[in-house]
Structure 1
Amino acid sequence: MSVEQPAGNFISRVAVEFARNVRQATNGQLNIRVHPNSTLYRRPEVKAAVTRGDIQLGDVFMSALGNEDPIFELDSLPFLASDYEQARKLWAVSREAVERRLLADGMRLVYAVPWPAQSLFSNRPLRTVEDVRDLRFRSYNPTISRLAHLLHARPTTINTEDVPQAFREGLVDIMLTSSATGMDLRVWDFVSHFYDVRAFIPKNIVIVNERAFQRLPVAQRRALLHAGERAERAGWELSWALTGYQTRMLARRGMTVVQDIDPQLRRELTEVGQQITEEWLARAGEEHAQIIEAYLDEPPR
């Protein structure tokens, strides 16, 4: 099982516990070896590796698949779902569509874990969106690239493990990512400001090759899916619990942490987010648009 994050990251820890639960439930008959820190495959390669069967399971940042289908971008539309209650609600109405899309490519969804909300890390103060103009904006999916364009910044695709060097070499000036990633990367060594804008809560999904899954005995299939349910519950709880703690830790490391966001900056960012959502609706098709409608109409679950 390929996992992008370092071993100490909470998503990697959830994966290790998932593998342990599978092993225990099958009396050691089904063993999953977790390989963290992209030691098997880097982010762009994982889904294809699972599809081919080179590896049986992989942990994938869902919105990085946005070029394949708009459904994968849904959790990364800025300010559509920016707290955990909203994120749970959005996942509840969109999960079935994600599962169908993955199965069409020969993969099965096992579980999903949310990141803490994505916020801005910058090497300079920000008061309005004009302060973002012409900055090199780290991108990791099509939505972030579009966000950067609308902010008149310059999107630059950088894998997570390459971020510190990119900042030090002046290839990146600003990025939108979680406090968890900030802790993993020790961002205080190369970035000065953290703006807790909480733009959206994206997810990592764990996928299994469907052919490999179907070859398992029925009892092992059930054990794997049950362990996935446990992993998803644990991942959501852990992500939520870590959010405030990690923000405090960034401040203790000497970063300027801004939680009272300037109203003008928040308003301008929200307007850009609304435009991105409208563009997504225009190209997503009626079926995906109905998911947004269900999200906006349904009470939280």
Structure 2
Amino acid sequence: MRYTNIPSLLAAALVAATFSSAVVAQNWDLPTGYAPTNFHTVNINKFATAVGQATDGKLKINVHPGASLYKMPEIKRAVQSGQVPIGEVLMVTLSNENPLFAIDGMPFFASSYEQAEKLWKVQKPEIEKILAKQGLKLLFAVPWPPQGLMADKEVNSVSDLAGLSFRAYDRQTSRLAELFKARPVTIQAAEVAQALSTGKINSLIASAQSAVDYKAWESIKYFYDIQAWLPKNMVVVSLAEFNSLSPTLQQALVKAGQDAEAAGWIASKEIAAQTKKTLEKNGMNVLTPSKELVDGLNQLGTIMLEEWLVNAGPEGKAVVQAFRQ
């Protein structure tokens, strides 16, 4: 009679299962340029947790906030080149690649959540096509709250912005500074707080959420609720990495992205009101802009949209036309 060494078989099975699990499980690093407490980062952490739970730990996403792994302008290239499989990017900063990345940062074009949702419906298919050609897949996009104007002095008209040092982070904010007759200074999100404290900049357009992140009240006393635009952050994944996943993991990742987009839009709306109250609590003057200032900004927005349309191509013009219908 042959006797089977059951303990040995169990040990071998355990080793095999452990090895198989090690092969299947994946750890992905996800860099972002924003603070850990920023609602975008909080939402992304919830997304990462959801992915881990939905995949029983077979896909784990490690979030690296505050430009701790890559600076914001470097993140998309890092994903495309395979340095990381996934990352978060501020869409409007990609305007040099394609004008359609920048349409949601056009001043006073889509300046409410309702308009931003309508714009995203017509913009999203085109963004997905562009990314696919670059070897990337869109997982989700979430808007910032409406952007306000911050300055270290009262601003009652566009002319009051002349001569100020204005924070720029893409082609459009640089162009806006030129139209203000201000001096554009390129500063990335992780460096704004220091730039404000040292006086390198004394004006910028950003959300109240960003103003809280920067503790802007320590350097700037005026926040004008101009609701200029609602730019979106998007989380993209390498198509090669995505395609290497099993169908089950792909489905879990896509579903978590869809849920993160829905939750992010809700969080953006909630944080818009909360953060303005935080600014007031810390001594900033949160003000409604004067009619003269609004009219002047709208005129500049019209100029910038006309300039954008010149280079937007048929796809860009079709998106604008669809949005306006």
TM > 0.5: yes
Quote how far apart the aligned CAs of 1:162 are: 1.3
Quote how far apart the aligned CAs of 1:244 are: 1.1
CA distance in 1: counterparts of 2:116 and 2:149, whole angstroms: 19
* Residue matched to 1:279: 307
* Residue matched to 2:213: 184
CA distance in 1: counterparts of 2:76 and 2:149, whole angstroms: 27
Question: Which residues in structure 2 correspond to 1:210-225 (within 5 Å)?
Answer: 210-225=239-254
* Residue 213 of structure 2 corresponds to residue 164 of structure 1: no
* Residue 105 of structure 2 corresponds to residue 76 of structure 1: yes
Question: Which residues in structure 2 correspond to 1:176-255 (within 5 Å)?
Answer: 176-255=205-284
Quote how far apart the aligned CAs of 1:160 are: 1.3
Quote how far apart the aligned CAs of 1:224 are: 0.2
Residue of 274, 286, 297 corresponding to 1:257: 286
Question: Which residues in structure 2 correspond to 1:26-37 (within 5 Å)?
Answer: 26-37=55-66
CA distance in 1: counterparts of 2:196 and 2:160, whole angstroms: 17
- Segments of structure 2 that go 5 or more residues without pairing to the other structure are 1-29
CA distance in 2: counterparts of 1:253 and 1:64, whole angstroms: 30
* Residue matched to 1:97: 126
CA distance in 1: counterparts of 2:80 and 2:235, whole angstroms: 13
* Residue matched to 2:322: 294
* Residue 35 of structure 2 corresponds to residue 6 of structure 1: yes
Letter in 1 for 2:33: E
| DSSP 3-state at the match of 2:61 | coil
| DSSP 3-state at the match of 1:155 | strand
Quote how far apart the aligned CAs of 1:175 are: 0.2
Residue of 152, 158, 163 corresponding to 1:134: 163
Letter in 2 for 1:186: K
* Residue matched to 1:123: 152
1:222-255 superposed Cα distances (whole Å, 9 cap, x missing partner) = 1000000000000000000111111111111111
1:92-150 superposed Cα distances (whole Å, 9 cap, x missing partner) = 00000001111111110000011001111111110111110111110111111111111
CA distance in 1: counterparts of 2:56 and 2:191, whole angstroms: 39
CA distance in 2: counterparts of 1:140 and 1:198, whole angstroms: 18
- Segments of structure 1 that go 5 or more residues without pairing to the other structure are none
Letter in 1 for 2:303: Q
Residue of 40, 49, 61 corresponding to 1:20: 49
CA distance in 2: counterparts of 1:31 and 1:164, whole angstroms: 32
Letter in 2 for 1:286: P
| DSSP 3-state at the match of 1:32 | strand
Matched residue count: 296
Quote how far apart the aligned CAs of 1:30 are: 0.8
CA distance in 2: counterparts of 1:294 and 1:170, whole angstroms: 43
| DSSP 3-state at the match of 1:34 | strand
| DSSP 3-state at the match of 2:88 | strand
CA distance in 1: counterparts of 2:190 and 2:135, whole angstroms: 28
* Residue matched to 2:143: 114
Identical counterparts, % of pairs: 38
Runs of 4+ in 1 over 3 A off after TM superposition: none
* Residue matched to 2:83: 54
Choose 1 or 2 for highest CA Rg: 2
Quote how far apart the aligned CAs of 1:288 are: 1.1
| DSSP 3-state at the match of 2:139 | strand
Quote how far apart the aligned CAs of 1:169 are: 2.4
CA distance in 2: counterparts of 1:165 and 1:15, whole angstroms: 25
Letter in 2 for 1:67: N
Quote how far apart the aligned CAs of 1:168 are: 2.6
Which is further off, 281-290 or 167-176? 167-176
Contact 2:197 2:218 in 1 (8 A): no
Normalized against structure 1, the TM-score is what? Answer: 0.97
Quote how far apart the aligned CAs of 1:45 are: 0.4
Residue of 174, 178, 189 corresponding to 2:203: 174
* Residue matched to 2:23: none
CA distance in 2: counterparts of 1:269 and 1:237, whole angstroms: 28
Contact 2:196 2:216 in 1 (8 A): no
